[in-house]
Every structure is written in structure tokens, then in C-alpha cells.
Amino acid sequence: MSGEAEKPRKPPRRPRSAAGPLRRSVLHVDARGRARMVDVGGKGATRRVAVARGALAMSPQAFDALSSGRLAKGDAVAVARLAGIQAAKKTSEIVPLCHPLALESVEVDVELERRARQAVVTATARITGKTGVEMEALTAVSAACLALYDMIKAIDRAAVIREIVLLEKSGGRSGTYRR
């Protein structure tokens, strides 16, 4: 060391989105850059709906066992639906900055696509509230896909969960989004 006083370090600059400066009111960070839960206390309640989708692709043997109901663990589609609903209700326990929500409805559908050898999971979450339900719909799809994987893994450990995405959301200040 040369004996000179060290210069104070500047905090790293936060990247900005291509859409322009980030709005402080919707960031999950405080003025010092620490993670925080967004304060939705001043927002009005609106009807909010979110739809998400994902898929589990599998081998022909696993798909045949799933579609014919011959899995050793039982009715995989029913288990996946229940896992998705249960996970949506627990989203705030899984995703740290999500608000606990009193969901009004969660629907989880599983469609078997023989040609693609996959189970397509779609979840719809609804609420009248101050914050959206996108994370609940996405969490429902994730859990349903994981439950399906658990049900078929004895036949196909190479099964792949594919592209879990938000298809649409409505309500709130940002309005409607459609993929």
C-alpha cells in the first residue's frame, strides 16, 4: 500500500431496461438497492386474471402409460391439477417478494398431445385485488409439470419441462398483456 487514503467506491450502476428508466414505484428494491416487497396499500382493487402455460415432453413409453392411465402412482392428471392449485395458493411462501393473496379461482388444465408426446398444462388464476396473479398462474403450471414428472420418472427420467410462460394477464394499472 502506498499510504494514500482509499477513495470510496461508488455503488455499481443498475441497468435500465430498453423501454426507458425503471419506475421506482414498481421496483422490488428500495432507495439503497435492497430487495423489498412493493407497497400496494395505496392501490385500488381491480379484477385481475392471469393465464400461464408449460409442457412436459416425454418418451413414447411414458406418454402411453400416462395417457392410458397405467402409471403405478395413479391418476397423474388429477394429481397435477391438485398440485398446481395447491402451489398457486402457496406462491408467496415460494417466491420471496410475492404478496399473499386471497385467490378467488385457480383452474389447472392438462391436455395430452399424442403427436408431440407431451402434457400441456394451462393455469388460470383470478382475484379482485391490489396486485396481479401472474406469479400464482406461473407457479401453478410449474408445480403441475413437476407433479407430472414425478408420476412418470420411473419410466422416463429424461422427460423435459418446456417453456413455462405467461400467456396473458389483465387488470391493474398496466392493463392487458397477451403473448
Which residues form the catalytic set? 150
**Range 159-162, long-range pairs (CB < 8 A, 24+ positions):** 159/56, 159/57, 159/58, 159/59, 159/62, 160/56, 160/57, 160/58, 161/54, 161/55, 161/56, 162/54, 162/55, 162/56, 162/57, 162/118
- The position carrying cell 404478496 is 99
CA–CA gap between residue 158 and residue 26 (Å, rounded): 39
DSSP letter at 36 equals -
Burial call 89-112: b when 16+ CB within 10 Å, e when fewer? bebbeeeeebeebebeebbbebee
